[in-house]
Structure 1
Amino acid sequence: MSSEVYISGLGAITAIGNNVAECYAALRNGQAGMGEITGLATIHRNKIPVAEVKLTNDELAEMGGLSAHLSRTALLSMVAAREALNDAGIAGLNQLRTGFVSANTVGGMDKSEEFFVEFLADNAKGKLKNVYDHECGSMTELVAVPLGISKQMTTISTACSSSANAIFYGARMIKNGLLDVVIAGGTDALAKFTLNGFNTLMILDKAFCKPFDENREGLNLGEGAGYVVLVSDKVAKTLNKQPYCKLSGYNNSNDAYHQTASSPEGTGSYLAMQGALKKAGLQTSDISYINLHGTGTPNNDSAEGTAVKRLFEPNFPPMSSTKSYTGHTLGASGAVEAVFSVLAIQHNVIYPNLRFETQMHELPFAPETELRTDVQVNHVMSNSFGFGGNCTSLIFSKL
């Protein structure tokens, strides 16, 4: 049994950077990653902005050491997972009980879409290899095996809370003495299926998104991957560098209100945050910063805001949504934002909520609009709330 779970490695690739250092520089400099669609062959080009990773599949494959014919979801995953593992610098990893817990929601849908373009035009054409391994679990296996992890691999797909739940699950595996090290996080690539689906729900903003703004109109889809390396207290003592922080709290709840909408009262969000605080043994006054789920949709921000008001009123900590930088990376978002939360603790910074203009009329607080470096960041709460009411909050704490 491990009394604590520590974060010893970080990896990320998003629309604002191809590694953790580049992402952090963009966060500090207020550089968002949204723009016109360039990678997808879609009718929505020049109409709907997205936040694309600025590398081709060939470039991603070269970075990650995989074949370029694989799904972009797996290619993104490998880049970030390998960075996290290298960053952790764990000696004798093959002698430790190591697991890979990875989340995604789209699987290899990008390759399936390529297949059906050819197949529907001529049933004798199309590469079946682009279809048979497109499901979510294959994305995990395609990355775990080259990393040398074959005994414990798990895939989690719980919509937008997926990779937060991967971190949650990995921590529990360590806490219960089942594993010593877990590379946990998630990945998702843009696909026409996803873009069309969210457009059908009428929750995409045709401009750059404005989370928690009174005049918000929707989200911007993004892509990317994020991973953290979780280690037990026993492994932490053997490292050549001090861990970044510890994962002190985590909780998942489900209000089961609607397939795609959060309950107006933010019940699931409230229970997730409340449970994470209890797990961490903290009070609301201990939280230095909330990394909001903050997608920019009217329903989501209202529900999350209502839950924050209920739990934290009258003393609200600084908060912001980093989706104003990266867009909504879906299955990757919880882990990408976990990486950003750890960086906030490491550098004692609070990120601005880009493009915020008008406070929501029903809320007594507003997100931060300027980069803050004048604060001591001891505990960060990171929220990830998904379709179906699957809500998870993580709390990262300074050592």
Structure 2
Amino acid sequence: MPISTDELLGRCQINEEGISRTEALASYAVIQAIADARLSSEQVQDFKTAFISASTVGGMSRTDQLYEDAHLIGPPSQFLASYNVGEHTSNIARRLKIKGASTTFNTACSSSANSIMFGAKLIKSGRANRAIVGGADALAKFTVNGFNSLQILSQEESKPFDEDRVGLNLGEGAAYLILESEELAGDKRVYGEVAGYGNANDAFHPSSISDEAFGVVASISNALQVSGLSPEKIDYINAHGTGTPNNDITEQTGMNKVFAGKVPAFQSTKTYTGHTLGAAGAIEAVFSLLVLNNKELYPSLHCAKPIAEYGLVPVMKYEQRQAVDHVLSNSFGFGGNCSSLIFSKV
């Protein structure tokens, strides 16, 4: 019997004291994923079911309270235990009685893309036959102040791939997917296949990727190699597209190199969600699967004057297409940790 949403909510105890906002977001998204996949308690608790989560901020959304604790200001905070970036993973695994492999990725903005990649590898290698994968990040003053100090936070709407882009907008959220081996998937509703994945680290700079796009080219090329697809088979790219001066032109440089000047339709869904940091890769995986299933492309917002260097123009209006079979989703993190996923129609 599938676990009901109410039962899952009861197990996760989201209103319990000491739970960070990141954990609450993650719990709701995990519950929705399990319910949508109609998994039973036995399946969730099977030793071959892995839980791979991701976050950048984690419980650091409660940094203000931790500061007060460290300086002995007022009574002790209830959020001490939640400060660890992997605490939400441990708590959710414990409450849902997940017994399989469990870990947390923290590779900045590519975190949840890497969780999806790792879950797919666990299944492919036979170490798991099912994986709950994704990530969560909550918005907090800690994050806002950090990005302000880097001078890449826009005070207006972010404009990915626009000549006059000045920075990103922050968001928050969570998304999780249920990955299963072909044998387990059977006749269930399948949104798509993780056909390819690639990860590379150019190690160029703590907070930006190399101008030559070494990591971008490597991650996309590796994903194509794993999938067995040639570049011209990609129908759409869900770009990382943060709206920062460095990221957008570097991503275009990489795409132009891999696709030899014939870049497929692309845009950034961060114009809808803001940059959700460690959750971005999973949220954008959901957008990618919606593109596959609905055969539709979404417009890139606020791009009035596309970057001129390569003559690449993002999707500017809503489009419905006859065939969208293969989607590439890019996620690039601080330190040059670049990850690319390919989702294909089944």
* TM-score, length basis structure 2: 0.93
The answer to whether the Cα contact below 8 Å between 1:119 and 1:125 also exists between their aligned partners in 2 is: no
Which of 228, 242, 247 in structure 2 is aligned with 1:281?
A: 228
1:63 positional shift: 11
Match of 2:154 among 192, 205, 208: 205
- Aligned positions of 1:1-399 closer than 5 A: 65-69=13-17, 70-91=19-40, 92-93=42-43, 94-95=45-46, 97-117=48-68, 120=71, 123=72, 125-237=74-186, 239=187, 241-399=188-346
| Structure 2 CA distance for aligned equivalents of residues 175 and 115 of structure 1 | 41
Cα shift readout 1:88-121 (whole Å, capped 9, x = no counterpart): 113441446111100001121122322434764x
Name the SS of the counterpart of 2:157 in structure 1. coil
| Residue number in structure 2 paired with 1:15 | none
**Alpha-carbon distance in structure 2 between the residues aligned to 1:178 and 1:212:** 40
Separation (CA, whole Å) in 2 of partners of 1:289 and 1:68 = 42
User: SS of the residue aligned with 2:248?
Assistant: helix
The alignment yields a C-alpha RMSD, in angstroms, of: 1.7
Identity %: 44
The answer to whether the 8 Å contact 1:258/1:389 transfers is yes
Residue deviations 1:266-287 (CA, integer Å, cap 9, x gap): 1101110011011100011100
Cα–Cα, structure 1 residues 171 and 234, in superposed 2: closer, same or farther, change >3 Å? Answer: same
Gaps of 5+ in 2: 1-8
Partners of 1:96 and 1:201 in 2: CA distance: 43
Q: Is the 8 A contact 1:309 1:364 kept in 2?
A: no
Letter of the 1:243 counterpart: V
Q: 1: CA distance between counterparts of 2:155 and 2:15? A: 34
Residue 167 of structure 2 aligns to a residue whose secondary structure is coil
Return the offset for 1:209.
0.2
How many residue pairs get aligned? The number is 335
Deviates further, 87-96 or 264-273: 87-96
Relative distance call for 1:382 and 1:124 in structure 2 (3 A) is: closer
Kindly indicate whether the alpha-carbon contact (under 8 Å) linking 2:46 and 2:98 is maintained by their aligned counterparts in 1: no
Secondary structure class of the residue paired with 1:395: strand
Q: Which amino acid aligns with 2:160?
A: P
Q: SS where residue 136 of structure 1 aligns? A: coil
Partner SS state of residue 356, structure 1: coil
Query: Which string of whole-angstrom CA distances, capped at 9 and with x for unpartnered residues, describes residues 311-360 of structure 1?
Result: 11332211100000000000000000001101110111111111111110
The runs of 5 or more residues in structure 1 that have no matched partner are: 1-60
Q: Secondary structure at the match of 1:129?
A: coil
Q: Does the 8 Å contact 1:82/1:147 carry over to 2?
A: no
| 1:232-266 CA-partner distances (Å, limit 9, x unpaired) | 111112x5x23111000000001111111110111
Return the offset for 1:290.
0.0
- Contact 2:160/2:244 (CA < 8 Å) preserved in 1? yes
Letter in 1 for 2:51: F
- TM-score of the pair, normalised by structure 1: 0.81
Work out the CA distance in 2 between the residues paired with 1:214 and 1:62: 49
One-letter identity of the residue aligned with 2:65: E
Secondary structure at the counterpart of residue 161 of structure 1: helix
Q: Is the 8 A contact 1:116 1:126 kept in 2?
A: no
Query: How big is the shift at 1:127?
Result: 2.6
Paired letter, 2:88: M
Task: Go from structure 1 to structure 2 and tell me whether the alpha carbon gap of 1:345 and 1:64 turns closer, same or farther (over 3 Å shift).
Answer: farther
For the 8 Å contact 1:119–1:126, the answer to whether it is kept is no
Deviates more, 1:245-254 or 1:132-141: 132-141
Q: In the superposition, relative to structure 1, how do residues 65 and 376 fare at CA in structure 2: closer, same or farther (>3 Å)?
A: farther
